[in-house]
Structure 1
């Protein structure tokens, strides 16, 4: 298990480099195994990367019929609400990629019948013992990851795979999230962070500030950090590698 920090000039480079690397990695995994499990995240950096990924995938060897998509967390809002992470991701990726509906595992939307805790239990059952080949994650300026927030009940130890969050310190207040043990069921974890607002949290996480949820997430094989210069602004020079 090791960590690599990849520093890139700007946010556009992060989206471009990660999209290219992710596509190449998924295609390589598909050559070696029948199905690839990819867990997606939300946020501006991820959404920009999805757009670049869709463009590259159009003329690639990607086999979308052998790609299972999961989500690390979701805002528990109505299905058509543009705040939903899954809606943001799929609307970009589906421009050129035809995913299998049965392999696109979106977390439940708010429907007025079930609350976030009940919906989390359903997603936990759907997930079962699935492990992820690649886990994509962002990081909040406060060091949160998924919808697990520092100093919040969502950060408390749990044996659950998926939990509902009803009092998120970041809007919307109701969410669903994979827990830390589930995030860590990943061979590779890829963090994406851009912008000066993330710099302090990135540096603290890489120095293992245990009060931050992001510091507790690691790939079983490798953890990548893809940063623009602004997000890497508080890191010492040794936190860098060629990619």
Structure 2
């Protein structure tokens, strides 16, 4: 049986602050063993609040950001700079604040909609090539040290939605997504194969509207029903939730 560590915090604000502190500590710990470090960011309210808390923490300077590579688990396929892009939100919350400490070449954004990148598939293919450049020989993606994921009330993670054909993608690290039930409809996402190649997967979720999905995922229901159930790290799977989101899961502090 898959083991998931579940940590419950009182509310969304404490959750974001605690997740930020945990992330900074983890990055410093990993850097004591290996370099570079590969970190996958997520969007969403709690995900972006976590990044803002990282930016505000004095502990952020304990991390050698020059040896951190930043990736994304998914992206909305819209134009560069659009407020809907996870990259845009992450830059405003954290990356811009890091300045020169984080080299521009270490930030690997999913290609945005443009004349040269006209479809989600083109973006996914380009991102897959970049992932391979930083992966071990024969691998499609790096073994991400920490892969952050938010979760929607329907249980989706990244842009992998219940019942969507993208759930079953194999043999590749990325996929273009059409017909997302949550706008915008065009997206790019890591596949479950890439997600499960991460050393640690952290799912962050807050709010009573997430309670049913949290309970379902922790009960290991089929991925087609609750995709978050398939978000598993090769070494650790960590759920960071607030009390409202944990209400139906039988979890405790």
Q: What TM-score results when the alignment is normalised by the length of structure 2? A: 0.91
Q: Which has the higher contact order (CA 8 A, sep 6+)?
A: 1
Structure 2 CA distance for partners of 1:157 and 1:109, relative to 1, 3 Å? closer
Corresponding residue for 2:247? 233
Q: Secondary structure at the match of 2:209?
A: helix
Q: Is 1:116 matched up with 2:123?
A: no
User: 1:95 offset after TM fit, Å?
Assistant: 4.6
- Indicate if the aligned counterparts of 1:57 and 1:97 stay in contact, CA closer than 8 A: no
Corresponding residue for 2:106? 103
Corresponding residue for 2:130? 126
Unaligned stretches of 5+ residues in structure 1: none
- Indicate if the aligned counterparts of 1:51 and 1:93 stay in contact, CA closer than 8 A: yes
* 2:188 equivalent among 176, 188, 196: 176
Corresponding residue for 1:73? 74
After TM superposition, the runs of 4+ consecutive aligned structure 1 residues lying more than 6 A away are none
* 1:147 equivalent among 139, 159, 164: 159
Deviations 1:36-92 (A, max 9, x none): 000011100011111110111566311110000000000000111101001101221
Is 192-201 or 48-57 further displaced after alignment?
48-57
> Could you say what the CA RMSD is over the residues aligned between the two structures, in angstroms?
1.4
Unaligned stretches of 5+ residues in structure 2: 133-138
Deviations 1:76-112 (A, max 9, x none): 0011110100110122113531321111000011113
Q: Secondary structure at the match of 1:189?
A: strand
User: 1:159 offset after TM fit, Å?
Assistant: 1.5
- Indicate if the aligned counterparts of 1:138 and 1:192 stay in contact, CA closer than 8 A: yes
Corresponding residue for 2:90? 89
- Indicate if the aligned counterparts of 1:2 and 1:221 stay in contact, CA closer than 8 A: no
More helix by share: 2
